[in-house]
Amino acid sequence: MEDQTRQLICVVDDERTNALMLSMMLETDFEVCVAYTGLGAIDMVRQRKPDLVLLDIVLPDLNGYEVCAKLKEDPVTSDIPVIFVTGLEDSENEKMGLEVGAADYVSKPVSAPVVKARISRVLQINLYIEFLEQLVSVRDAKIDSLKDKARELLEQQFVS
């Protein structure tokens, strides 16, 4: 049975050893699900709606950039943060990853403390964003309510 209080991280890597290693690093702190292909990752993320995706770039069907772009285009998954975890460590690949919507980029081999720190930072930022969006939504509702009241008062003035 899944622990509903722990955040869910989706690990996507076609190299089963890498996926297992990342899963083992994270499973003490997070619930973990794993996908080994780009299409499998998209399906899993849509179904499970994880709190964060750790995504390799080199995959057998779609590459990680394509997967990230598709996740960011889909309203169901667009707010889920993606961190690339890849052996492609040159600045051009990192730039491309960030341009398609990734929140961060980690080069392999990974260090458990570094990966966990980056995950925590991205999840914390996401919580702040959600909180601010809720504040804006409440503010907008209050403004709409005040506009409606002002219209009613104006209509009453012109009717009288």
pLDDT digits (tens, 9 = 90+) for 14-59: 999 999 999 999 999 999 999 999 999 999 999 999 999 999 999 9
pLDDT score of 72: 97
Which residues face 85 on adjacent strands?
A: 106
Q: Note the pTM of the prediction, 2 decimals.
A: 0.81
Which position has the token pair 């959600």? 130
Domains of the chain, residue spans: 8-159
Closest CA to 83 of 15, 4, 14, 9: 9
- CATH fold of 8-159, please? Rossmann fold (3.40.50)
Do you find a cis peptide bond into 109, omega within 30 degrees of 0? yes
